[in-house]
Amino acid sequence: MSKLKFLFLGMSLFMVYLAMRTSMQSNMFHLPAVVVNEPWFKTTLVDFYFNITIISAWVVYKENNLFRSILWIVAFILLGSIATGFYVFLQLNRLSKGHAMEDVLCRLPR
């Protein structure tokens, strides 16, 4: 379990580093028309938002608090895999010794 925690936290932190490094090299709000019109760019955007929809449905199911769910969904949209990896890391941290790995996917009793 600790290896999974390390993996998800590591992915989140690496994406923070990568996003910061990339933002220093390039302004994402000034993309060349060539990039915006590239079919893979459009496909990647659709893929991203489909993934956000799937993860958001899971978070709304898993969380008992609609406000907290909405905050996580906004974080997923704004931060992408940084927030997603951190959310899974937190879910793994919430598991106590008696819980199985499958409990990460399901609601835990509060």
Interval 36-50 mean pLDDT: 87
pLDDT at residue 108, as a whole number: 63
Q: Round to whole Å and give the CA distance between 50 and 77.
A: 11
Q: Round to whole Å and give the CA distance between 48 and 87.
A: 17
| Most confident by average pLDDT, 32-36, 83-87, 94-98 | 83-87
pTM: 0.77
92: left (phi over 0), alpha (psi -120 to 50) or beta: alpha
Residues 6 or more apart from 77 whose CB is under 8 A from it?
52
Higher-pLDDT residue of 29 and 85 is 85
